[in-house]
Amino acid sequence: MGERNGWREETRPDDEDLTDEEVRAAIEGLTDLDRQKLIVIERRYRAGTDFAESDLLQEAICSAFERQRRCPRDVSFVRTVSMMMRSIGGHRRNALARHDGFDAPIIAGKDGAIRTPADTLAAAGLDPEAAVMERERPDVVAAALSISSDDEDVQYVIMGIADGLKGGTELQAATGLSSNRVHYALRKIRKRLGSDPEGWLT
């Protein structure tokens, strides 16, 4: 499993993770703003799944309680729960995608257009393997760039992130944008992609 934002799924020594009591204390210590952020994040990662409202957050908290996933000490608890929701939501989305019909719409292709796997199969010259690959991993960067074609700031930020630049400072230096403009660009990306997360949050 890979590392995302300092959050890892792999096994770590116990002393690097919160104990049961610390998990409980961390949950009780959540502020109202933390709770609001978790609801915003839950809404994002619940998209494209069959989880009912709040079920994904409940599942993530259960994972923390039951130690199905690790709670690293060096990562804030809100981020850990967010990453759990991202992971659980992603697994559920993938599981559902395997059961989708061949006519289920997805975002695919460099133009970011919505197509079905059946369309993709025809476009790929009747190559089933290519169709499956495109269905499993659509070119989301190209799709993100195409839906932001009217906004250069957003395009610079997308390209910077896709190139591996992390944090506002690196992005500011590489794009020449101010901190506020980077923040606004990220919010635009979130809003535009968030409105159609199918095929994006894989």
Partner 1 sequence: MSSSKRPRPAPEDLIEDAILDDILASSEDEIAAELRDGGSSPDEAVARARRAVADAEAECGRRRLAAAKRGVAAFRSSAPVVSLADVQRQRTSTTVAYVIVACSGRWRLVLGVAVSRATRRR
Instruction: Please report whether residue 106 would count as binding partner 1 according to CB under 8 A.
Output: no
Nearer to partner 1, 53 or 118 (CB): 53
Site size toward partner 1, by CB under 8 A: 54
Instruction: Please report whether residue 40 would count as binding partner 1 according to CB under 8 A.
Output: yes
Q: Distances from the Cα of 157 to the Cαs of 38, 45, 111, 186, in angstroms?
A: 25, 22, 19, 7
> Applying CB under 8 A, which of residues 66, 100, 111, 136 lies at the interface with partner 1?
66
Burial 61-74 (b: 16+ CB within 10 A, else e): bebbeeeebbbbee
Q: E strands along 56-157, which residues? A: 106-107, 114-115
Instruction: Please report whether residue 15 would count as binding partner 1 according to CB under 8 A.
Output: no
What's the min distance (Å) between Cβ of 105 and partner 1?
A: 18
What's the min distance (Å) between Cβ of 131 and partner 1?
A: 19
> Applying CB under 8 A, which of residues 12, 20, 29, 58 lies at the interface with partner 1?
58
CA dist., res. 189 & res. 31, Å (int) = 27
Question: Which DSSP state fits 4?
Answer: E
Burial class (CB in 10 A: 0-12, 13-18, 19+), 135: buried
> Applying CB under 8 A, which of residues 78, 104, 130, 174 lies at the interface with partner 1?
78
| Residues 6+ positions from 49 with CB-CB distance below 8 Å | 56, 89, 92, 93, 96
Q: Which residue has the tokens 């619940």?
A: 46
> Applying CB under 8 A, which of residues 25, 39, 114, 133 lies at the interface with partner 1?
39
Q: Are 70 and 12 in contact (CB under 8 A)?
A: yes
What's the min distance (Å) between Cβ of 39 and partner 1?
A: 4
Residues forming contacts to partner 1 in the complex (CB under 8 A) are 2-5, 27, 30, 32-33, 35-41, 43-44, 53-55, 57-59, 61-62, 65-66, 76, 78-79, 82-83, 86, 137, 140-141, 144, 157-158, 161-162, 164, 166-167, 183, 186-187, 189-190, 193-194, 200-202
